[in-house]
Amino acid sequence: MTTTTPLHTISLLVRNKPGVLVRTALIFSRRGYNIESLVVSPAFDLEIEGYRSAPGEFSRMTITCSGDPVILEQIIKQLEKLVDVVHAIDHTGQEAIESEIALVKLKAGIKDRTEILQVAENFKAKVVDFAAESLILRVQGESDKLDAFIDLLKPFGVVELVRSGKILMARGLATT
């Protein structure tokens, strides 16, 4: 029997400076952790302890990884020690809104299109490119939904697949 380790989603609020991403990735690497997805985006202007940030001063990193929770706890403590990290939070088990986007290119002749479009409709996917021999679909939602969508499309011939990686926001007034 194989046991799978749960996926952990960590959010970091960091100063938007050169080298922060490399130093963050090195902490994971030194502990033998593989980052499965990483999304970095500008953070909204913040007010921290009376200090009002300038536009573009901070970024939000959302990191998805799997592994031993004890080692992950050590990684988070090390991340918080980095000068440019404001805070690091593991959102595993917390109430949070998660989302991801995928683009799926399919080889799609005339005879398969109806069935492909029915699958797309059930998953609320959008056709973003319609060519003579192919389709590109865009789907968004939780990672499990995207996995199921892609699995259903594999028999039709997935030519290319691009996923954004997970983004996350804590529910209510909790800090992300």
> Where in the chain is CATH 3.30.70.260?
7-93
Mean pLDDT across 112-135? 95
Predicted TM-score of the model (pTM): 0.82
* CA atoms of 156 and 162, how far apart (whole Å): 17
The end-to-end CA distance of the chain, in Å, is 35
User: What's the full length of the chain, in residues?
Assistant: 176
pLDDT above 90 coverage of the chain, percent: 69
Each residue of 154-165: b (16+ CB within 10 Å) or e?
eebeeeeeebeb
Its CATH class, for the domain covering 97-168, is: alpha beta
Nearest to 158 by CA among 116, 123, 106, 112: 106
Candidates 3.40.980.10, 3.40.50.150, 3.30.70.20, 3.30.70.260; correct CATH number of 7-93? 3.30.70.260
CATH 3.30.70.1150 in the chain, residues?
Answer: 97-168
Residue whose pair of structure tokens reads 């913040």 in the numeric block: 46
Asked whether the beta carbons of 102 and 162 are under 8 A apart, the reply is yes
- pLDDT tens for residues 140-176? 999 999 999 999 999 999 999 999 999 999 898 888 8
Residues 6+ apart with CB under 8 A from 7: 36, 64, 65, 66, 92, 143
